[in-house]
Amino acid sequence: MQAYFWVKTLHVVFVVAWMAAVFYLPRILVNLAESAGQPEVQARLVLMGRRLYRFGHMMFGIALVLGLVLWLGYRFIPDFPTMVGPGSGWLHAKLALVVLVLAHYVVSGRWLKRVARGGALPSGRALRWFNELPVLGLVVIVYLVLAKPF
């Protein structure tokens, strides 16, 4: 049982680190959209965005591996609790939302790469709205994990 809590703790830590990147990368895109005509500022923001995007991918990868251990660890680790079985519909809903948040993150990364190649971004206002979407996803994900409503 001790292994379960360590895996769960590390999973939550790496999810928090990934969510920091998910929240901040669109903000960098807003700043890029609003710094048109300032090549030095844009170059710095693109560099920051690339590093953050890479960091976020690493954090997601580690969180994913730890999440898989939480999900399927009962098959390999003695006394490891399982989340698989009746009443785990919340887990499927959570995973679907995680996929949507990941898609949001990938879109952010593609927009960043487009800017680095000299392409255009959506307006700063549109990017601000885009920046708020993962917050809603996170709220529902946390509710599903804590309440396990179905």
Q: What is the pLDDT of residue 19?
A: 98
- Phi then psi for residue 82, to 5 deg, are -115, 150
- Name the residue among 137, 116, 101 with its Cα closest to residue 22: 101
- The answer to whether 92 is annotated as binding is no
Which residue range is the domain that position 115 belongs to? Answer: 1-147
Identify whether the C-beta of residue 69 lies closer than 8 Å to the C-beta of residue 10: no
Q: What is the pLDDT of residue 2?
A: 85
**Kind plus residue range of the DSSP H or E element containing 21:** helix 2-34
Q: What is the pLDDT of residue 128?
A: 95
Distance (Å) of CA 90 to CA 68, 78, 144, 145, 150: 16, 25, 6, 7, 5
Identify whether the C-beta of residue 84 lies closer than 8 Å to the C-beta of residue 121: no
Identify whether the C-beta of residue 21 lies closer than 8 Å to the C-beta of residue 102: no
pTM above 0.75, yes or no: yes
Domain count, the chain: 1
- The answer to whether 113 is annotated as binding is no
Structure tokens at 91: 């887990």
Q: What is the pLDDT of residue 17?
A: 98
Q: What is the pLDDT of residue 65?
A: 96
- Name the residue among 60, 73, 75 with its Cα closest to residue 21: 60
pLDDT along the chain (150 residues), means of 10: 89 98 97 92 97 98 94 80 76 95 98 94 95 96 93
Signed CA dihedral, 80, 83, 85, 87: sign only: positive
